[in-house]
Amino acid sequence: MRTPRSVARLVAWGALTLGSSAVAAVAAGPPGGQPAAAASTPAATVAAPAGAPAAAAASATPASAAPAAASATGAPATAAPAGASATAAPTAAPSAAGRFDPVAATDAYLARVPPAQRARSDAYFEGGYWLQLWDFLYGAAIALVLLATGFSARLRDLAERWFVARPASTFTYAALYLLASAVLALPLSVYKDFVREHQYGLATQAFGAWFGEQLEALALGMVLGGLAIAVLYGVLRRAPRTWWIWGAVVTVVLLALLMTVQPVFIEPIFNRYTELRDPAVRGPIVSLARANGVPAEHVYAVDASRQTTRVSANIAGLLGTTRIALNDNLLRRCTLPEIEAVMGHEMGHYVLHHMWKGLLFLGVMAVAAFAFLKTSFGRVLARFGLRWRVRNIGDPAGLPLLALLLSIFLFVMTPVLNSFTRTLEAEADIFGLNAARQPDGEAEVALKLGEYRKLSPGPLEEWIFFDHPSGRARILMAMRWKAEHLREPPVCRP
C-alpha cells in the first residue's frame, strides 16, 4: 500500500496544497522506492523509487523456486520455511514448557543479520531522520527567499501580463513557481536521492538516467501541480469566508482522482509493466486473490531494478483501476512463500479498505491543515503582506507562504501521520498471515526490508519516525502467529 505521506508513495501528502503534490506524487513513484522518510525516485511511493528486465523477471522463477513452487502446488504451505538467503528459517529452542518460543525465534532471525550490515542499515535509516529536518528547513528557506526577494510577486505579475484570465495566469504562475522551487532544491535532491542512495547500494541508475527521470517528473508535476493549484485558488477566491472548508474538500477530491489515475497513467511513464506469465508464481497469487475477494485477473511485473535494489509490491488504484504489481527485485530475490506473504499483506490493504480509510483520514487532516492556514496566513500577511507584495489569500504570490505554513503543520504532525499508516500496515500484516499462512516467508521479507530500514528501534523512535512496523515487530508478529498454528494440519495449495 502507498502510505499517507505519499498515500506511500502515491500522493505525497506533504505537498498537498502547494501543487507540489503532483510533483511529489510523481517523484514518489516506482514500486520498491524509499521509505516515507526519504521517498524520492520518480514514478514509488512507492510510495520513493540490479538486474533482469521486467520481461525476463516476469517469465523466470525466483531464486530457490523449486521448493517454493512445490509448496504452491501441493506441499504444506506452513511446513516449508522461506529460503530468501539460501538459509533455512531458524528453529527456536523450545521454552521451559516445551512450547515454541516466538521471542526466541524472533531473536534467531535477527541474529542472522551480520553486525556490519545491521550498522549500515541503521545508519541509513537514522540518517533519514536528519534528512526530514533538513528537508523542512531547506524548503522553508526556499519559501522565504521567494517571498522576501519579491520573486514570487514578480512571477505573478509576469503571469498576469501574459494571461488576463485568472485560471490561466494562476496555472502559469504555479508552473513557474514549481520550476523555480525545483531548481533551488536541486542540490539537496541530488545528494539525498542520488549520491546517498548510491553510497548505500540502494540505487542502480547512472546520473544521466536519474536526472532525465527527474526532468520528466518535474514536467509532469508542473502540469498536474499547475492544474491543482489553479483549481484550489479558484476556490479561495470564490469562498472568501469558507475557503478553508471547501479547500479541504477539493483537496480530497483531487487526491482521490490522483490515486485513481496514477497506477494506469502515471507510473507507466517511468517504468515498464508487463503481465506476469510464469504460472508457478502467478497461479498462487491469483488463487490467493480470488480466495479473498480481490479482483486480480491481471498481475504485473515492473522493472524497478533499473532504479533501485529494493523489493516491493503493491495493490494500487481506485474505482476500477485497482491492480497488483510486483517489482522484478521481489521476483528475483524472493522465494514463493515470501512472495505469497508479501501479496497477502498487499491484499489485506484492499480487503480492509485501507485506501478509502486513508483517504478519509487525509480528509480530516486536510480540514485541520486548512484551519491552521486560515488562522496563520492572515496573521503573517498582516505583518509582511505589503513588503512581500501579497494582496490576499486569493493571490497566487502568497503560495510560498501557504507552502511554508503547511510544511510547518505537517512537520509537527509527522508522528500522527506515521502512526496512522503504521496501524494500517500492522493490520495488513495480520491479514496477510491469516491469508497466505507463511510466517517464515513474512520474517524473511522483513529481513530484506531491513537492508534499508532499522530493524530494532526504540519505542519512541518507532512512534515518531516509522510509517511501517519495525522489522522486529513484524517478525515477532509472524512468530506469534506461527506459535498459535503449529498444531493445525498443514494447508495445501490447489
Per-residue pLDDT of 356-377, as tens digits, reads 999 999 999 999 999 999 999 9
* Whole-number pLDDT of residue 27: 35
For 397-419, how does the pLDDT look when each residue is reduced to its tens digit (9 = 90+)? 999 999 999 999 999 999 999 99
* Whole-number pLDDT of residue 317: 81
Longest Cα separation, the chain: 81
Task: Determine, yes or no, domain membership for 329.
Answer: yes
The residue behind cell 521451559 is: 96
CA distance 308 to 9: 15
| Distances, alpha carbon 406 to alpha carbons 52, 67, 400, in Å | 41, 51, 10
Mean pLDDT of 283-299: 87
The H or E element that residue 246 is part of is helix 243-261
301 three-state secondary structure: strand
* Whole-number pLDDT of residue 240: 82
| Distances, alpha carbon 391 to alpha carbons 140, 386, 399, in Å | 21, 8, 12
pLDDT of 77 above 60 = no
Burial class (CB in 10 A: 0-12, 13-18, 19+), 228: buried
Task: Determine, yes or no, domain membership for 53.
Answer: yes
* Whole-number pLDDT of residue 456: 95
Share of the chain above pLDDT 70, in %: 79
CA-closest candidate to residue 124, choices 192, 64, 62: 192
* Residue 360: strand pairing partners: none
pTM: 0.80
Dihedral pair phi/psi, residue 318, rounded to 5°: -140, 160
350 close to 290: Cβ distance less than 8 angstroms? no
275 three-state secondary structure: strand
Task: Determine, yes or no, domain membership for 494.
Answer: no
Helical axes 207-238 vs 166-190, angle rounded to 10°: 140
* Whole-number pLDDT of residue 451: 93
CA distance 18 to 21: 7
pLDDT of 253 above 60 = yes
CA distance 407 to 209: 30
What is the pairing mode between strands 299-302 and 313-316?
Answer: unpaired
Task: Determine, yes or no, domain membership for 318.
Answer: yes
CA distance 259 to 10: 7
* Residue 326: strand pairing partners: 301, 313
Dihedral pair phi/psi, residue 410, rounded to 5°: -70, -35
* Whole-number pLDDT of residue 61: 32
Task: Determine, yes or no, domain membership for 69.
Answer: yes
Domain range for residue 461?
1-489
CA distance 327 to 311: 7
User: Which residues, including other chains, have CB under 8 Å from residue 60's CB and lie 6 or more apart?
Assistant: 52, 278, 331, 332
443 close to 478: Cβ distance less than 8 angstroms? yes
pLDDT of 190 above 90 = yes
CA distance 164 to 248: 27
CA distance 449 to 270: 23
Count of domains forming the chain: 1
Task: Determine, yes or no, domain membership for 422.
Answer: yes
Burial class (CB in 10 A: 0-12, 13-18, 19+), 383: exposed
Task: Determine, yes or no, domain membership for 11.
Answer: yes
